[in-house]
C-alpha cells in the first residue's frame, strides 16, 4: 500500500501545482452537458415526478467520474509508458505489481473524485434537494475505481497513442450517450435495453441516480459495477504480469 501511495504521491505533487486549471478544464464538459441537456433540451420535461434537471445531474456525475478516472489513469499511463518511458522506472523499482497497478489506478480515482465533487458542488447550487448519502458516495467511489482500472488496463494493452484514442471513440464515447446518462432506459426497446445493461456506466448512472433522488437503491447495479471493477482489476494485473519479467 505504501508503494501505491508513493506512485500516487507523484501525481498529487503535480496536481497540487495546477489543480485550479485541472478543475476548470475537466468541469467544462459536464457543465456544458448540464446547460445543453438539463436547461436547454430538458426544460419542462418531467420523468415520473422528477424534473429532467434532477434526473440528468446524477448521470452527468457518473459520466464525469468515468471520463476523468479513465483519462486520469489511462491516458497518463499510456503517455508515461509509450512516450516518456517513465513507466519503465516504476517497473525497474522494487515495487510489487499489485502496488504498481493500484498506484496507477489511484491517480485516476483521485482525479475522478475531485472532478465529480467539483461538478457536484456546481450541481447542488442548481438542484439543492439532491440526496448525498453514504450509498451515493460509495457508488461514486466504485464508479471511479472501475473506470480508473479500465483506463490502466487499456493503457497497458495499447501499443500506441492511437490505440487509446480508438478505445475512447469505440468504447467511452458510445457509453457517454447510451449509458443511461441522459435518458431513462425505460423508454428504450427491450433488445437495446439489454445491450445497454452490458455497459458499466449504465449501472453507475442507475445507482447514483437512485441514491441522489432518494429512491430504492438498485443494489444489483452496484454488484454488477463491482463485477466490472473486479474484471478490470484482474485484466490489468494479467497485462502487467505479461509485460514484466
160 binds another protein (CB under 8 A): no
Number of residues that bind another protein (CB under 8 A): 25
Instruction: Candidates 6, 29, 50, 51: give the one binding another protein (CB under 8 A).
Output: 6
Which CB sits closer to another protein, 10 or 215? 10
Which CB sits closer to another protein, 160 or 166? 160
The interface mask with another protein, positions 41-80, x = CB under 8 A, is ---------------------------------------x
Tell me how far apart the alpha carbons of residues 225 and 205 are, in angstroms, rounded to a whole number.
Answer: 10
177 binds another protein (CB under 8 A): no
Only one of the segments 11-19, 24-32, 38-46, 178-186 lies at the binding site for another protein (rule: CB under 8 A); that segment is: 11-19
Instruction: Candidates 14, 35, 194, 195: give the one binding another protein (CB under 8 A).
Output: 14
How far apart are CB 153 and another protein at their closest, in Å? 20
Instruction: Candidates 1, 13, 125, 134: give the one binding another protein (CB under 8 A).
Output: 13
The interface mask with another protein, positions 82-111, x = CB under 8 A, is --xxx-xxxxxxxxx---------------
- Distance between alpha carbon 113 and the CA centroid of its chain, in Å? 9
39 binds another protein (CB under 8 A): no
Residues that bind another protein (CB under 8 A): 2-3, 6-7, 9-11, 13-14, 17, 80, 84-86, 88-96, 244-245
Amino acid at each position: 500500500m505504501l508503494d501505491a501511495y508513493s506512485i500516487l504521491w507523484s501525481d498529487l505533487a503535480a496536481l497540487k501545482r495546477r489543480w485550479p486549471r485541472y478543475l476548470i478544464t475537466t468541469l467544462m464538459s459536464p457543465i456544458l452537458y448540464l446547460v445543453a441537456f438539463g436547461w436547454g433540451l430538458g426544460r419542462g420535461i418531467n420523468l415520473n415526478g422528477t424534473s429532467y434537471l434532477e434526473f440528468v445531474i446524477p448521470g452527468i456525475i457518473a459520466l464525469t467520474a468515468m471520463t476523468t478516472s479513465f483519462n486520469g489513469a489511462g491516458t497518463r499511463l499510456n503517455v508515461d509508458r509509450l512516450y516518456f518511458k517513465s513507466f519503465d522506472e516504476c517497473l525497474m523499482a522494487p515495487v510489487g505489481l499489485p502496488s504498481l497497478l493500484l498506484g496507477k489506478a489511484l491517480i485516476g480515482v483521485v482525479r475522478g473524485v475531485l472532478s465529480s465533487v467539483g461538478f457536484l458542488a456546481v450541481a447542488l447550487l442548481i438542484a439543492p434537494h439532491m440526496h448525498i448519502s453514504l450509498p451515493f458516495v460509495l457508488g461514486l467511489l466504485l464508479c471511479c475505481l472501475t473506470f480508473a482500472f479500465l483506463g490502466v488496463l487499456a493503457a497497458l494493452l495499447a501499443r500506441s497513442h492511437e490505440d487509446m484514442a480508438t478505445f475512447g471513440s469505440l468504447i467511452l464515447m458510445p457509453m457517454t450517450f447510451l449509458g443511461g446518462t441522459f435518458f431513462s432506459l425505460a423508454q428504450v426497446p427491450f433488445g437495446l435495453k439489454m445491450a445497454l445493461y452490458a455497459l458499466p456506466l449504465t449501472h453507475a448512472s442507475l445507482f447514483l441516480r437512485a441514491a441522489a433522488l432518494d429512491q430504492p437503491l438498485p443494489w444489483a447495479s452496484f454488484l454488477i459495477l463491482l463485477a466490472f471493477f473486479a474484471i478490470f482489476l484482474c485484466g490489468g494485473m494479467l497485462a502487467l504480469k505479461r509485460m514484466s519479467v
